[in-house]
Amino acid sequence: MNTERLINGLEALKIPYDQRAIERFIQFHDILDEYNQHMDLTAVLEEEERVDRHDLDSVAILAHVAIPQKARVIDVGTGAGFPGIPILILRPDLQMTLLDAQQKRCLFLEDALKRMELTATVVHARAEDAGQSAEHREQYDFALSRAVASAGVLAELMIPFLDIGGYAVAWKGPKGTGEQESARRAAFLLGGAFEKLIPVQIPEREDWQHMFLVTKKVKNTPRMYPRKAGTPAKKPLA
C-alpha cells in the first residue's frame, strides 16, 4: 500500500488520523487483496488509484460533513466496504452498520472487521427490505451510499433509514449537478428535503469531479416506501 500517498491525502483534507488508523488501512488493503483472488470485490488494483478512489474518496466526507461522536451510521450497498470501513477506521466511535445484498460480501466484511479489531454491524439484505424492517427503519442519524444509481433511486433506498433530523449523503460524479431537481422531488415524497451539493476535491486528482448530494430527513417516510425490491430502480420516483 502507498502509505505516503494516504497520509499526504489525509493531511491535505485536514482529516485527523493516528498510527493505528494507518496500520488498519494497510491491513484492510491486504485483506482485500487476499479475498480479491477468488471474489470480485474491486477492479481497482493499482495502489495509488486505490488509495485515492477507495480510501480518500470514502473518508472525504469527514472533511465536509460534521458527524457527531457515536452517531448511528448506515452504509447502504457497501459492497467491499466503501465508504463505511475507511470511515470507521478513522472514526471507530461511530455506530456503523454495513448493508449489502450479497452474502459473500457480508462474510468478507465480518472477517475484515474481526481481523482489524473494529466493531460494526453487518446486515445481509436488500435496502428495500431492510428499510421496511422495524430494526432499521428510521433508526439512523446518517445514511451513506457510493452505490451507482440515480438520485431518485438512492433517495428511496436511503431516506427510509433515517430518523427525523438525520442526513442522507450520496457520493456523486459530474452528473450530480444535473440531478438536483430529481433529488428534490424524490426527497419530498419520502419525508426529506434536498439541502445541497458539496463539491469534493481529492488531492492530486484535479480531473475528478466528485460531489456529495445531501438530503435532510424532516418528517416520517410514508409506509409505502421503500417499495418492494427492484421497483425503485425500475420506476424511480423522480
pLDDT tens, position by position, 119-139? 999 999 999 999 999 999 999
Report residue 126 as a C-alpha cell.
436488500
pLDDT at 178: 84
The answer, yes or no, to whether residue 25 has pLDDT greater than 90, is yes
Confidence of residue 40 (pLDDT cuts 50, 70, 90): confident
Specify if 35 maps to a domain. no
Specify if 44 maps to a domain. no
Number of domains in the chain: 1
First to last CA, the chain: 41
The answer, yes or no, to whether residue 208 has pLDDT greater than 90, is no
Q: What is the mean pLDDT of residues 47-65?
A: 93
Distance (Å, rounded) from C-alpha 48 to C-alpha 212?
22
Specify if 46 maps to a domain. no
**Which residue's entry shows cell 469531479?**
209
Specify if 12 maps to a domain. no
| pTM of the entire predicted model | 0.96
pLDDT at 46: 80
Contacts of 172 (CB under 8 A, 6+ apart): 151, 179, 197, 210, 211, 212, 213
Asked which of 10-19, 20-29, 199-208 is least confident by mean pLDDT, the reply is: 199-208
The answer, yes or no, to whether residue 177 has pLDDT greater than 90, is no
- Residue 197 sits in a domain whose CATH number is 3.40.50.150
**Owning domain of residue 224:** 57-234
The answer, yes or no, to whether residue 42 has pLDDT greater than 80, is no
Specify if 104 maps to a domain. yes
Specify if 98 maps to a domain. yes
The answer, yes or no, to whether residue 192 has pLDDT greater than 90, is yes
At 75-104, the pLDDT tens digits run 999 999 999 999 999 999 999 999 999 999
For the CA atoms of 122, 128, 129, 131, the dihedral, rounded to the nearest 10 degrees, stands at 70
Specify if 172 maps to a domain. yes
Report the DSSP beta bridge partners of residue 122. Answer: 98
Nearest Cα residue to 183 out of 163, 220, 162, 212:
212
pLDDT at 89: 98
pLDDT at 27: 97
Specify if 5 maps to a domain. no
